[in-house]
Protein backbone atom coordinates (compact mmCIF):
# COMPACT_ATOMS: atom_id res chain seq x y z
CA UNK A 1 0.00 0.00 0.00
CA UNK A 2 1.18 3.47 -0.85
CA UNK A 3 -0.16 6.49 1.01
CA UNK A 4 -0.10 9.74 -0.90
CA UNK A 5 -0.25 12.85 1.24
CA UNK A 6 0.01 16.53 0.59
CA UNK A 7 -2.09 19.18 -1.09
CA UNK A 8 -5.03 17.64 -2.95
CA UNK A 9 -3.80 18.67 -6.43
CA UNK A 10 -0.35 17.18 -5.81
CA UNK A 11 -1.75 13.98 -4.32
CA UNK A 12 -4.09 13.54 -7.31
CA UNK A 13 -1.20 13.95 -9.73
CA UNK A 14 0.86 11.48 -7.68
CA UNK A 15 -1.97 8.95 -7.86
CA UNK A 16 -2.07 9.39 -11.64
CA UNK A 17 1.68 8.73 -11.82
CA UNK A 18 1.28 5.63 -9.67
CA UNK A 19 -1.46 4.28 -11.94
CA UNK A 20 0.56 5.01 -15.08
CA UNK A 21 3.55 3.21 -13.59
CA UNK A 22 1.36 0.21 -12.81
CA UNK A 23 0.01 0.20 -16.37
CA UNK A 24 3.50 0.44 -17.90
CA UNK A 25 4.75 -2.33 -15.64
CA UNK A 26 1.83 -4.51 -16.71
CA UNK A 27 2.66 -3.84 -20.36
CA UNK A 28 6.13 -5.26 -19.76
CA UNK A 29 4.55 -8.62 -18.97
CA UNK A 30 3.17 -8.78 -22.52
CA UNK A 31 6.63 -8.12 -23.94
CA UNK A 32 7.99 -11.01 -21.87
CA UNK A 33 5.21 -13.23 -23.25
CA UNK A 34 6.05 -12.26 -26.83
CA UNK A 35 2.58 -10.85 -27.46
CA UNK A 36 2.02 -9.10 -30.78
CA UNK A 37 2.11 -5.32 -30.49
CA UNK A 38 3.45 -5.63 -26.95
CA UNK A 39 6.31 -3.21 -27.53
CA UNK A 40 3.96 -0.61 -28.98
CA UNK A 41 1.60 -1.06 -26.02
CA UNK A 42 4.51 -0.57 -23.61
CA UNK A 43 5.81 2.47 -25.50
CA UNK A 44 2.37 4.09 -25.28
CA UNK A 45 2.03 3.27 -21.58
CA UNK A 46 5.54 4.56 -20.89
CA UNK A 47 4.76 7.84 -22.65
CA UNK A 48 1.64 8.28 -20.52
CA UNK A 49 3.81 7.64 -17.44
CA UNK A 50 6.37 10.24 -18.51
CA UNK A 51 3.65 12.80 -19.30
CA UNK A 52 1.96 12.26 -15.93
CA UNK A 53 5.29 12.41 -14.11
CA UNK A 54 6.09 15.74 -15.77
CA UNK A 55 2.64 17.07 -14.84
CA UNK A 56 3.15 15.90 -11.24
CA UNK A 57 6.53 17.65 -11.04
CA UNK A 58 5.12 20.88 -12.44
CA UNK A 59 2.13 20.81 -10.08
CA UNK A 60 4.28 20.00 -7.06
CA UNK A 61 6.72 22.80 -7.86
CA UNK A 62 3.92 25.31 -8.39
CA UNK A 63 2.18 24.24 -5.19
CA UNK A 64 5.29 24.20 -3.05
CA UNK A 65 6.71 27.30 -4.70
CA UNK A 66 10.07 25.82 -5.70
CA UNK A 67 11.80 26.65 -8.99
**pLDDT tens for each residue of the chain, 67 residues long:** 566 677 889 999 999 999 999 999 999 999 999 999 999 999 999 999 999 999 999 999 999 885 5
Compute the C-alpha angle 64/7/53, nearest 5°.
70
**Cβ atoms < 10 Å from Cβ of 17:** 21
- Give pLDDT, residue 64: 84
CB 5 within 8 A of CB 13: no
The whole-angstrom separation of Cα 62 and Cα 60 is 5
pTM for the model: 0.85
The whole-angstrom separation of Cα 54 and Cα 46 is 12
Amino acid sequence: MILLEGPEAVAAKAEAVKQAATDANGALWYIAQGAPEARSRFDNAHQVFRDRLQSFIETARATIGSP
